[in-house]
Amino acid sequence: MSRVIVPGAIPLRLLRDLRQAGPVALCEGWREGVEASASAVTSVVARGEPAYGVNTGFGRLSTTRIADDKLAKLQFNLVRSHAAGVGPSLPDPVIRLVIALKAAALARGYSGVRPAVIDSLVRLLCADALPVIPAQGSVGASGDLAPLAHLALVLIGEGEAKLPSGRIVAGSEALLFADLEPLVLAPKEGLALLNGTQVSTALALDALFRLETCFATALITGAMAVDGARGADTPFDARIQDLRGHRGQADVAAALRELLAGSMIRDSHRVGDPRVQDPYSLRCQPQVMGAVLDLIRFAAATLLTEANAVTDNPLVFAETGEILSGGNFHAEPVAFAADILALATAEVANLTERRIALLMDPALSGLSPFLAADPGLDSGFMLAHVTAAALTAETKALATPRSTDTIPTSANQEDHVSMATAAAHRLGAMLDKLETILAIEALVAAQAVEAHRPLRSSETLEQALSLIRIRAPRWEEDRVAATDIAALRALVAEGGLALLSPVALPSRAG
């Protein structure tokens, strides 16, 4: 069954799903507005009125009028000259989302393209013939010009694409595979394909969905660390959270209470434990992770708006026949959202690494040093923690804001840019590291919980421990830690542990 896109009203749940291969269709009723918009462009050309990018040059060259007999060549030249991206291709899930977002934006009927352009995008997506889109070359205004040019190249039968088999082929062969003819671009169509924030938005959305999974996983491993260190659940009392009033904090505390409910380990030291307070990395999880959750929700709202927006330029208003130049291509909202997600990612990494360190220290955990079976002969998870520390440091270094930078381009015509694409692109590397840090916590927290046998943790955390043990058996003596870390990183990335988390996340709600 096709996943149906309603332009301007795509929910987060569908946006998350559109990263996967499968049939896609636009809802009924979009063609009439698109045809009216294309007709308005045709009328402006016929009247000889100047319109940016329709019968003028681009950027600083916008004062140059183009003769009518060269308007088609103008669009082809734009696509070819702007295909200046470099670096490795974007990941397949991101490219699928880029195509879907571009088709949905054009189908709103304000871009002046013919329905055939949108049909070609949808057919390409359904065939999973994915244009090779270099990751670097956009400054986030005027839209994601370079990467989107590489998408447009395939539509005109040029460039490169990857088929479902993984084979890289010429754009012309990809069109044959999708049963398409190369597009002959009409006035405005090349510009409409290139202008827009779809690449930066797709990158940021992909990161948002991955961070949601990591966040939910961190609640599971964080709760396991509480039990592993025989920590208290008192700091998660609802009355404490209510006095502060932050929604995210209250939601995280509620999730932790639920995750730890019924733990025999917790019950075993309610009376007679001399410790009055746990270290911050255990005790302040609602405050830190709650603040992260609030940022995730804010970024999700921003990116949902952007995913449903019309962000090219100029925009065509068919009802009045006007073509208006503006700046919807400026991706500042995406840049801010991406920077916020970077801060959130770094903080989850920070807190997770501190819990791992706590479990390594017998003075804090009450367990054997480094959770080693025979300390001294065995080093246990000593170096697993060092790896987590190294990755955390790298993650923090990547968290520096990108939106505060701007480099004027196009001979100073485009004199303030967002850097949204770079802001969103670096999130992938940060999340790669966070997934591994969480895998290490899963490995050590499971070992710590099992150190309290025959006492058992809560039902949910015992389920999590079982999932971990399927991938990484309990350490009875030293072995190669990298193998277990890789296996558990796959579990984290797949969302196996996240599914056990009770917290409400934006893309799960709709």
**What residues are annotated to the active site?**
52
Q: By the 8 A CB rule, do 170 and 162 touch?
A: no
Q: Report the DSSP pairing between strands 3-5 and 24-26.
A: parallel
Please choose, from the candidates 322, 345, 353, 495, the residue with its C-alpha nearest in 3D space to the C-alpha of residue 429. 345
Q: How many residues does the chain have?
A: 510
In angstroms, the CA 416 to CA 403 distance is 11
Q: Which H or E run contains 296?
A: helix 285-307
Token digits of residue 87: 């670096």
Q: By the 8 A CB rule, do 216 and 321 touch?
A: no
In angstroms, the CA 144 to CA 199 distance is 6
Give how far Cα 140 sits from Cα of 85, 117, 183, 454, Å: 13, 23, 26, 56
Q: Which H or E run contains 86?
A: strand 86-89
Residues 6+ apart with CB under 8 A from 149: 78, 79, 80, 82, 83, 84, 85, 193, 194
Give how far Cα 293 sits from Cα of 120, 244, 249, 388, Å: 38, 15, 8, 22
Could you give the 3-state DSSP secondary structure of residue 425?
helix
Give how far Cα 398 sits from Cα of 279, 295, 427, Å: 27, 18, 8
**Could you tell me which residues are beta bridge partners of residue 56?**
65
